[in-house]
Amino acid sequence: MRESVRILGVRVDALTYADLLERMAEFIAGGKPHQIATVNPEFVMEAQRNESFRAVLEQADLCIADGVGLLWAARRQGQRLPERVTGSDALPRIAERAAQTGWRLYLLGAGPGVAEQAGRILQARYPGVIISGAYAGSPADAEAAEIIARIRAARPDVLFVAYGAPQQDLWIAKHKATLGVPVMMGVGGAFDHLTGVRRRAPAWVQRLNLEWLFRLLTQPWRWRRQLALPRFVWAVWREQMTR
């Protein structure tokens, strides 16, 4: 695999969960810092107007397809993304692999105590997994030095950052050279989902491709952000029409 598709100018890599784990193993073996972004239609629309975010996605080592809208858009272009690969579902899979291989994980972000609780859940589910640290922190510049010091001292192989997009991805891009962690991945609400702080759409709703509707009903204050979805559909249609 080294294939990717472009959706409204944003690169999305054609990967399965198995491919993701394989690439992570390569990144960790190599040791240099790598950034992974979990791209969904909201990311793509944000990238249309936010140049620094667009640049961050462009230089990310992997952009995984976290959203069925991307699979739909790729299909319309006659291309294929093999499956939806979400941050929330990747997190436990990565922890499972980490328990087997000894990868050290660090959980950064979410509300007070949530990252710690997520770490305890992973340790209970995947005995032997090393949680090298868990800390809420904040994406504010004033806190960066302290957070970086904590992470460097913990020497993780994989750093999950749950500050929501685009802050988490901008934060990783800004600090990745100093952090020196082989894999850094923005995971949005993944700690909230794992701990049950926030309920994720049930599997059957996800299968019907209606996770966006579930989000709209359970977090109605996100409606403005979720306007990105119809705007995304419209932009993809329009791009095809004008080809």
- Under the rule (CB under 6 A), what is the footprint of ligand UDP? 109-111, 138-139, 162-165, 188-189, 191-192
Give the nearest distance from C-beta 215 to ligand UDP in angstroms: 8
133 φ, ψ (degrees, to nearest 5): 175, 155
For ligand UDP, the closer CB: 77 or 219: 219
Between 12 and 165, CB nearer to ligand UDP: 165
Q: Closest approach of Cβ 211 to ligand UDP, in Å?
A: 11
Shortest distance (Å) from residue 219 CB to ligand UDP: 8
- State the minimum distance, in angstroms, from the CB of residue 151 to ligand UDP: 15
What's the rounded Cα separation, in Å, for the pair 202 and 193? 11
For residue 225, the minimal CB distance to ligand UDP (Å) is 8
61 versus 211: smaller Cβ distance to ligand UDP: 211
For ligand UDP, the nearest residue by Cβ is 188
Cα atoms in the Cβ-side hemisphere of radius 13 Å centred on 25 = 11
Enumerate long-range contacts of 22-26, CB under 8 Å, 24 or more apart.
23/61, 23/62, 24/94, 24/97, 24/103, 24/158, 24/183, 25/97, 25/101
**Residue 77 or residue 206: which is nearer to ligand UDP going by CB?**
206
Identify which of residues 47 and 110 has a Cβ nearer to ligand UDP in the complex.
110
**Contact, 232 vs 44, CB < 8 A?**
yes
Listed in sequence order, the residues at least 6 apart from 195 whose beta carbon sits closer than 8 Å to its beta carbon are 114, 117, 118, 121
Nearer to ligand UDP, 109 or 156 (CB): 109
Across 55-68, b (16+ Cβ under 10 Å) vs e yields ebbeebbbbbbbbb
Least separation in angstroms between residue 186's CB and ligand UDP is 7
* CB atoms near residue 226 (< 10 Å): 17
Maximum separation of any 2 CA atoms in the chain, in Å: 54
DSSP 165: T
* DSSP conformational letter for 196: T
Nearer to ligand UDP, 53 or 191 (CB): 191
Q: At a CB cut-off of 8 Å and minimum separation 6, what does 226 contact?
A: 42, 212, 215, 216
Closest distance between ligand UDP and the C-beta of residue 101, in Å? 27
